[in-house]
Amino acid sequence: MSKRLFITDIPASGKSYLAKKLADSLGGIAVSLDDLREGLSNNKEYKKWTDFYLNQNEFEYLTKTSPKDQWSNLVAQSEALWPVFPAEIRKYENELRPVIFECVNILPHLAKRDLNFPGVVLVGKNFEEIFERNKKDPRWGSTVELQELEARTFFEVERPMYINEAKKYGYPVYESADEAFQHLL
């Protein structure tokens, strides 16, 4: 079996870029499980969680939901959608080329429990970088104000939690995709 790797991150920190760069360099395949998540919105069993954030008033959610509850919601979403991901990953078990799986919802505790290959966590270097990337490719917000609130949530709320989980479950943490790329090669 060839090499496998998962990449998870706070949004806008570079996991898609890193997955593609690694796959290109190694003659491998980059698989975006985020794309799979988006396709699950047509399934009643998963719709609540694929549409969870879209069904919120973004401004109210980002300004009135406590950091603890925001993280709990991300964990609940990840755990609810998780059963689909290992099945998708198994589709590549006979692939001889390296396969790099990337997705926000691959939380370290889930990966440690169910994946038998290594992974890395990207957390971004600074808020400004995350904000700029989020403005170029908004995850949710349609205004710059909302995109800034969103980026602040990624960096100030989700980032420390991803770092804590990564350390707890033994996955390396990188602030940039380029830094991770150098170490992973």
pLDDT tens-digit map of 114-162: 999 999 999 999 999 999 999 998 888 889 999 999 999 999 999 999 9
Tokens describing residue 166: 């990564």
What is the SS3 assignment for 31?
Answer: strand
Residue 129: Cβ within 10 Å count: 17
pTM: 0.93
Q: What is the mean pLDDT of the chain?
A: 94
On the question of pLDDT at 95 being above 50, the answer is: yes
- Report the alpha-carbon distance of residue 140 to residue 78 in Å, rounded: 17
Task: Say which range, 6-20, 79-93, 129-143, has the weakest mean pLDDT.
Answer: 129-143
The answer to whether 171 and 115 are in contact (CB under 8 A) is no
pLDDT given for residue 129 in this prediction: 95
> What pLDDT band is residue 39 in, cutting at 50, 70 and 90?
confident
Q: Stretch 65-73: mean pLDDT, rounded? A: 97
What is the DSSP track for 138-161?
-SS-SSHHHHHHHHHIIIIIIHHH
- The sign of the torsion formed by the CA atoms of 72, 80, 173, 179 equals negative
Nearest C-alpha neighbor of 46 from the set 83, 6, 2, 3: 83
> What pLDDT band is residue 2 in, cutting at 50, 70 and 90?
low
* Percent residues over pLDDT 70 in the chain: 99
Q: Stretch 11-34: mean pLDDT, rounded? A: 95
Higher pLDDT, 139 or 77: 77
pLDDT given for residue 1 in this prediction: 47
Q: What is the pLDDT of residues 101-110, one digit of tens each?
A: 999 999 999 9
Q: What is the DSSP letter of 51?
A: S
Angle at alpha carbon of residue 66, lines to 60 and 119, rounded to 5°: 110
Domains and CATH numbers, the chain: 4-184 (3.40.50.300)
- Tokens 């609540």 correspond to 48
pLDDT given for residue 76 in this prediction: 97
